[in-house]
Structure 1
Amino acid sequence: MTQVQVVVVGGGVMGAATAWNLARRGTDVLLLERFEPGHHEGASHGATRNFNTAYSSDHYLDLVLRARELWADLAEQAATPVLDPVGLVNHGGGLAGTARWQAVRDALVARGEHAEWLAADAAHERWPALRFRPAPVGDGRDVLWVPSGARVRAADALAAMHDGVTRHGGTVRFSSRARAVEPLPEGGVRVVTDEEEVTCAVVVLTVGAWTAGLVASSGLDLPLPTLEVTQEQPAHFAVVRPDLLTGDLPGFNHAPDPDDPADAYFRSDVYGMHTPGEGIKAGWHGTGAVLDPDERTYAYEERQMADLRRYAADWLPAADPDRFEAISCTYTSTASTDFVLDRRGDVVVGAGFSGHGYKFAPAVGEVLADLALGVGPGPAAAFRLTGRAEAGARRGYGT
């Protein structure tokens, strides 16, 4: 039987970030991942994500600004770029959208971050690969430009975290599925895999779409909120007008105007970014079908894809809506879209990242590592297992 200080179950970006944070503090940590490296079964695969700083709530701004520091640490330690400083544009949503983006601007400026309003024509002139519409307020507050936004090199970042765990003395074990997590009467936890049993002082669960199933099958006393698993289907659209990609194309968040009939086909907010070599990525946020993660078909839903192709035709003039590569990934969402970061006994859980978690990963890993070691201020109230809001509007902060 193997014995370590901390076992992290789930080697996607959140588990990898947790194990990296633990290992670089000298913790004897074992990271277990049920699939092979580079798999497409969960929510962490793919070449790029938005590093989206367009939040107005303190608990998310605290987390995302700390994440920026830790992404820089990871890049330095791994000697590889992790964030491309392309910036982020936010637009749309009608009158409510202007108020939403204004709240983001005010929150960022209050923290010393730059955020600038641009008129739609000026924004299009600067980034001709994107289209913009004047906002109904009519005062030039059409597009909120946030230079601190970036593009995460997601696949490179995940590999760098896995490498960082081993570089700092931890262990990463792929193709090792945790079948049961059993708190011991004398304290500590036994983790049962297909190959062995491992005992540890603390276990951290970061298994994404499999969280509720593992908790239930192990009989763990964790008051989880409802975690809804959906299959989402963004796509990379081929770039057919490279001449419009002048400079770095920023990531984007685009909210539909509920009062404009032209936006009636929108399924949700749209997020996207340019992925060099693959095209311009765009996706609806949190509109996929609910499913069992072990029974995915990976096939896209035709009507949703038709609407996404229409979006590309209307709003992405550098892209070809008829040439695309569909992407299948999972969201594991809470009703409020807030994360679950907390500890009960010797079990720590990180879950419910609701399609907007990747950018936060190194800071989430730091919080979960603190919980495992019993140090630090603990998670923000919105992330705790008790006292959570169980209802709320889904926000357009997609990855």
Structure 2
Amino acid sequence: MVGGPFGGFGMGQRMVERVDVAIVGGGAMGSAAAWQLAGRADTLLLERFEPGHLNGASHGASRNFNVSYADPVHVGMLVEAERLWRLLEAQTGTELLTQHGIVNHGPNPGHEAAHAALAAAGIPSVFVDEGEASERWPGIRFEGRVLFTPTAGRLHADRAVAALQRAAQQKGARVQHGARVTGIRPVGDEAVLTIETPEGVRDLRARRVVVTVGAWTSTLLTGHVPLPRLVVTQEQPAHFAPRIPGEWPGFNHFLADSGPDRRWPSNVYGMHTPGQGIKAGWHGVGPVIDPDRRSFVPDPALSALIRDYAREWLPGVDADDVTEITCTYTTTPDGVFVIDRRGPVVLGAGFSGHGFKFTPSVGRLLADLALDRAPAPAIFALDRF
């Protein structure tokens, strides 16, 4: 909807489009917010890049749908997320979530708490001893007893983002790719956005603006929202050719000898990506980068270490037949998300490498904030910093 001249804001007589809710960033979280808002508010989703781009954190064919959380807020969101993933599949006719289970092993004292929290929420989990686990899943070498979560699994990231946008459009939301938001200025209870497209520059006035731009959060919002320190890294999981055919469980390995100045840089996560191999990666230890100046070149030291890990802990793969990929993490100081509102700006940021599984639940929280319905859980609040 286009209004008349919007004077008094330094824009002269330029015509300004008006919308109830503008969403900046069309990755997983922004697309989920659009899906939740469509039909409830006049919604416009603005994405800087073209569909299927590789610049952010939402691309690729696989993400673990890991349910091994002990915090009741996260567990509750997992229950909601599973329901909403299935609803999205039904609405779009797209297969997104494969529940083949995930095995969690290594000396993690949090496994007991996760097992108890999952039981309380009705999510099945069971401890399996190391010998039985080796027989059931011979592609993985296990360390100690294993927490197996059979309803965990794998999400198809690229399909999920496309399905969310398609479902949002079916309910009336507008989606525009190739639209870069270069400025957001809160003006009273609303916000004015400056948008660059191949056709030129335009302004947009929104009652609420949802910002879900991942690695670009600080660039866009510094000076307008009191942000925590958000660290942007380039991560580099790898796909290994499997020696053992068929479906694998996802896996999380909590390595005893991991961390700064230890043999391994971090714990390891992984999963089967059909058609690409067995994915394995370090968690949150890639080099700090500027998202507009990424090399997209994997760090050779981390590459060598993940191959060493595969030789030692993944007997079911060929550690020398490997294809590496890169993506970004945007990490908060405590590794917990930011989902909050300041004035007209609703923020979803800092998903710290473990947010994708929660995508539709995060979208619902962002929509509630944009519609002034309910605050997000306190653990996600900006003022905790």
> What range is the shorter-chain TM-score in?
over 0.9
d(CA) in 2 for partners of 1:64, 1:154: 17
Name the counterpart of 2:382: 385
Of residues 143, 150, 155, the one that matches 2:153 is: 150
Would you say 1:122 and 2:124 are equivalent positions? no
Would you say 1:184 and 2:187 are equivalent positions? yes
Name the counterpart of 1:284: 282
Deviations 1:163-206 (A, max 9, x none): 11111111000010001111124x31111111321111100000
In the TM superposition, what is the alpha-carbon distance from 1:277 to its structure 2 partner? 0.1
d(CA) in 1 for partners of 2:47, 2:298: 26
d(CA) in 1 for partners of 2:120, 2:75: 11
Name the counterpart of 2:34: 19
Name the counterpart of 2:19: 4
Q: How many residues align?
A: 364
Give the TM-score of the pair, scaled to structure 1.
Answer: 0.89
Deviations 1:89-141 (A, max 9, x none): 10002xxx1x21111101111112211110111111111111113x2xxxxxx
Greater Cα shift, 122-131 or 12-21: 122-131
Runs of 4+, deviation exceeding 4 Å: none
CA contact (8 A) 1:241 1:317 kept: no
Would you say 1:44 and 2:58 are equivalent positions? yes
d(CA) in 1 for partners of 2:23, 2:150: 35
Task: Tell me which amino acid in the other structure corresponds to 1:30.
Answer: L
Name the counterpart of 2:12: none
In the TM superposition, what is the alpha-carbon distance from 1:265 to its structure 2 partner? 2.6
In the TM superposition, what is the alpha-carbon distance from 1:241 to its structure 2 partner? 3.3
Matches within 5 A, 1:57-96: 57-93=71-107
d(CA) in 1 for partners of 2:367, 2:85: 16
Would you say 1:30 and 2:44 are equivalent positions? yes
SS in 2 for 1:162: helix
CA contact (8 A) 2:21 2:44 kept: yes
Name the counterpart of 1:224: 227
d(CA) in 2 for partners of 1:116, 1:75: 28
Would you say 1:257 and 2:267 are equivalent positions? no
CA contact (8 A) 2:215 2:232 kept: yes
Task: Tell me which amino acid in the other structure corresponds to 2:158.
Answer: A
CA contact (8 A) 1:26 1:168 kept: no
Give the TM-score of the pair, scaled to structure 2.
Answer: 0.92
Task: Tell me which amino acid in the other structure corresponds to 2:29.
Answer: M
Task: Tell me which amino acid in the other structure corresponds to 1:324.
Answer: V
CA RMSD of aligned residues (A): 1.4
In the TM superposition, what is the alpha-carbon distance from 1:357 to its structure 2 partner? 0.4
User: Which consecutive unaligned segments of at least 5 residues does structure 2 have?
Assistant: 1-15
CA contact (8 A) 2:267 2:282 kept: yes
Would you say 1:214 and 2:217 are equivalent positions? no
d(CA) in 2 for partners of 1:251, 1:241: 14
Name the counterpart of 2:121: 111
Task: Tell me which amino acid in the other structure corresponds to 2:134.
Answer: H
Name the counterpart of 2:203: 197
Matches within 5 A, 1:246-395: 248-258=247-257, 265-376=263-374, 378-388=375-385
Name the counterpart of 2:13: none
Task: Tell me which amino acid in the other structure corresponds to 2:250.
Answer: G
SS in 2 for 1:196: strand
In the TM superposition, what is the alpha-carbon distance from 1:264 to its structure 2 partner? 5.0
CA contact (8 A) 2:75 2:121 kept: no
d(CA) in 2 for partners of 1:298, 1:265: 25
Deviations 1:247-289 (A, max 9, x none): x311111011249xxx953211100000000000000000011
SS in 1 for 2:346: strand
SS in 1 for 2:335: coil
Task: Tell me which amino acid in the other structure corresponds to 1:274.
Answer: H
